[in-house]
Amino acid sequence: MVNFINGGVCAAQGFQAAGIHVGVKTHAEWKKDVALIVSDVECAAAAVFTKNVVKAAPIRVDLQHLADGKARAIIANSGNANACAPQGEENAERMCAAAAKAIGCKPEDVIVSSTGVIGQRINVEAIEEGVPALYAALERSDAASDAAGHAIMTTDLVKKEAAVETTVGGKTVRIGGIAKGSGMIHPNMGTMLCFLTTDCAISPAMIKAALLETVGVSFNRISVDGDTSTNDTCCVLANGLAGNETITAKGPDYGAFVEALKALCTELAKRMASDGEGARHLITCTVSGGASEKSAEAIAKSVISSTLTKAAIFGADANWGRVLCAMGYSGEEFDPDKVTVNFASAAGSIQVCAQGRGLDFDEDLAKKILTEHDIEINIALEEGGACCTCWGCDITYDYIKINGDYRT
Amino acid sequence: MVNFINGGVCAAQGFQAAGIHVGVKTHAEWKKDVALIVSDVECAAAAVFTKNVVKAAPIRVDLQHLADGKARAIIANSGNANACAPQGEENAERMCAAAAKAIGCKPEDVIVSSTGVIGQRINVEAIEEGVPALYAALERSDAASDAAGHAIMTTDLVKKEAAVETTVGGKTVRIGGIAKGSGMIHPNMGTMLCFLTTDCAISPAMIKAALLETVGVSFNRISVDGDTSTNDTCCVLANGLAGNETITAKGPDYGAFVEALKALCTELAKRMASDGEGARHLITCTVSGGASEKSAEAIAKSVISSTLTKAAIFGADANWGRVLCAMGYSGEEFDPDKVTVNFASAAGSIQVCAQGRGLDFDEDLAKKILTEHDIEINIALEEGGACCTCWGCDITYDYIKINGDYRT
């Protein structure tokens, strides 16, 4: 039984957070740009990172810091990705060292993350100078999680934060998280930035297994623009303060924890898709009757990634031909003559294609359905019993506007 | 020695063409919508088609008609793709039968092609009624090729037509073609519609080999929007009237022919990318120093397909970080610390990244360079000696406008 609760990274016991402006973002002094998340005690820690061959400097540093499966804190900035940038790793290490000095832990126990423009030297001096104030701002509150959540935003319009509660081994366990998404979102392993905290007692090996399993069915099932970032990171800290018997193997406790972790990450993933750069619609595409879950996932992902389908949804155009076209180039085999497609939203549901052929349908109703914010594209195949849901967003004038002049 | 000459599908000896309005496009009576290309004599014929699992009805029909490697004519319409449409194959066959009756050949000797909206029944009656007028309009002239070229356009702004002349076995051989592109362009084998005619004497087996070889290095190296269409078709008719000794094997004659075919198809492919839906820029991305041609191609294709890179070019923003990011998720291995990137155009050339790190560069000059219509992104790796060029276009407000409401 998983329940959503208020809060984010401070929802679990023993975590503090803060977010302030130190000057990485030079064009908007009122915008927070550095976040800090600290556990009272050492945590089992795991992270998944982008599969992009071009990996940002913080990721290279984190791979070393996470080698022992332990961490105490996360420092993250927006405004500069520290990717392909001069002195990248040196500066990422300096961020860790500054945080470690304030907290009183080893630099190796700090995870570092960056997001923003690629290729420019990060203003690490501003961060170093700001860390004492950042540390002083630490709080164990929803407001503190909110501040941290804001500090990692770039073109995001909405802060993404959520928390869940479940029972593991008879103890109440909480997991909370903050995330940022918006552009360059087509995760291939980890994703954008997402920081999760939990008080569950769980071994480094099992928290890693839980994270991998979860990311595969949540963040890896969304796409905003097909661009897999150089900085994708999803990191979880588990400090064990819930007092449950430490999870060291798969079993009921692990199952309960993963169920909660998946519920949380799916919610955060959907919010990322919904707040995709310039987006006006959240598109939920479900493929049922697939030959396998992998096949259903590939088809659903192809549909939500199709620029033409995204443009059709922007135009509230029930252009199901583009849906079939995108299914067809997914790389998966299926019988196009046995495809059913339905568009649905709070305004109703309409079947537009059966047996791979167009149906006469009420264009006015279709327009009404597609004018809602949350749109479903439901696809039924006759290949087998597998099902998968992926999330995306439409492509709009604003996406072009935002990305036609992001750097300058 | 390959020379570009005037004309299109009528440039080679023994070919006639026509293009008229019959009523498939109902909203614009002045827009031609059916084209016919006829050879005086039987031709060796070959075609490559989309790899999309969802194949339009004309493609299913053509696969049968081309089984013997022979054809006389091509009938093609715009305004309706005859894909996922009721009575699709039946109606495609009816188009062939109507053309065959007028020409006096077998329906199996006619190739049929369609482009336009997916999922609606094609108005085959209008085509059947129009064929006598279409046949009567046949001419052996540049104007006739021009009419056929216009009749296959959808959202294309510019007609694509080109012709070349070379010498094969001591005889002058000509090859000409018309093509349409614009949206749903991310060819994976054949591409959009492209019809080629030649008077070269060549066997069915060798014309097929030549076409496959050529498509791989021309049309398959462009992308407009990442969407591989259900109707992609590239078809060539070779009627042998040039009088050269029939090419039946690889050798100097085959080499001369393929060189000319590649020059022609590369030119048509570039024109398609340049006239991508809503595009303001042709982007030419060349990767040198690649581990293999395949690897260089995958990297270049990833760059020209990146929505974020396309948006940056639209904004004349020298955002090379997005170029590196797109290279990184291409699926190819390379050392990111040994990458050099340069932007160039008629306005100059500027290096923006060396050893995978950003360089200080003149932003004003960069802006000037990126304001030109034809933009080059030149990438040097240090993996090997292979090189590949791919072509794409920027993504603009107009792309969203065109595709937000194409169907209605």
End-to-end CA distance of chain A: 48
Give per-residue pLDDT as tens, A207-266: 989 888 888 888 877 776 666 667 777 888 898 999 999 999 999 999 999 998 988 888
Chain A 123-182, residues with CB within 8 Å of chain B CB atoms: none
**What pLDDT score was predicted for residue A408?**
47
Active-site annotation holds for A197: no
Nearest to B403 among A119, A312, A357 (CB): A312
Dist. CA A63–CA A61, nearest whole Å: 5
Whole-number Å distance between alpha carbons of A222 and A272: 8
Asked if A54's CB is within 8 angstroms of B327's CB, the reply is yes
Secondary structure, 3-state, chain A:
CCEEECCCCCCCCCEEEEEECCCCCCCCCCCCCEEEEEEEEEEEEEEEECCCCCCCHHHHHHHHHCCCCEEEEEEEEEEECCCCCCCHHHHHHHHHHHHHHHHCCCHHHEEEEEEEECCCCCCHHHHHHHHHHHHHCCECCHHHHHHHHHHCCCCCCCCEEEEEEEEECCEEEEEEEEEECCCCCCCCCCCCEEEEEECCCECHHHHHHHHHHHHHHCHHHEECCCCCCCCCEEEEEECCCCCCCCECCCCHHHHHHHHHHHHHHHHHHHHHHHCCCCCCCEEEEEEEEECCHHHHHHHHHHHHHCHHHHHHHHCCCCCHHHHHHHHHCCCCCCCHHHCEEEEEECCEEEEEEECCEECCCCHHHHHHHHHCCEEEEEEECCCCCEEEEEEEECCCHHHHHHHHCCCC
Spatial contact of A103 and A38, defined as CB atoms under 8 Å apart? yes
Chain B interface includes A30 (CB < 8 A):
no
Residue A384 has a CB neighbour count (10 Å cut-off) of: 15
CA torsion through residues B283, B288, B290, B294, sign: positive
**Count of CA atoms in the C-beta half-sphere (13 A) of A209:** 14
> Strands A222-223, A386-393: parallel, antiparallel or unpaired by DSSP?
parallel
* Local confidence pLDDT in tens for the 408 residues of chain B: 888 999 999 999 999 999 999 999 887 777 999 999 999 999 999 888 877 777 889 999 999 999 999 999 999 999 888 988 889 999 999 999 999 999 999 999 999 999 888 888 999 999 999 999 999 999 999 999 999 999 998 877 778 888 999 999 899 999 998 888 766 555 443 346 778 889 899 999 998 898 888 888 888 777 766 666 677 778 888 989 999 999 999 999 999 999 989 888 888 888 888 877 788 899 999 999 999 999 999 999 999 988 889 988 998 888 888 898 889 888 899 998 899 999 999 999 999 999 988 888 999 999 999 999 999 999 999 999 999 999 999 888 887 887 776 554
Chain B residue closest to A405 (CA)? B315
ipTM beyond 0.90? no
- Give the whole-angstrom CA distance, residue A331 versus residue A309: 17
CA distance A216 to chain B (A): 18
The set of catalytic residues of B is 191
Cβ–Cβ below 8 Å for A315 and B403: yes
> Which of A:211-250 have CB within 8 Å of B?
225-230
Q: Do B118 and A325 touch (CB under 8 A)?
A: yes
Question: Number of A:B CB contacts under 8 A?
Answer: 216
Q: How far is C-alpha B301 from the geometric centre of its chain's CA atoms?
A: 16
Helix, strand or coil, per DSSP, at residue B264: helix
Q: Does B357 contact chain A (CB < 8 Å)? A: yes
| Amino acid in the structure at residue B230 | T
B278, two tokens: 């809503």
Q: Which residues pair with A343 in a beta bridge?
A: A350, A377
Secondary structure (DSSP) of B106-166: -GGGEEEEEEEESSS---HHHHHHHHHHHHHT-BSSHHHHHHHHHHT-SS-SS-EEEEEEE
pLDDT tens string A162-202: 899 999 989 999 999 888 876 655 544 334 677 888 999 99
Tracing tokens 């992998």 back to the chain, one arrives at A294
Closest approach of chain B CAs to the CA of A63, in angstroms? 17
Among residues B356, B346, B321, the alpha carbon closest in space to that of A408 is found at: B321
Nearest to B400 among A188, A306, A396 (CB): A396
SS3 B13: coil
Scan for tokens 């909206």, then name that residue.
Answer: B117
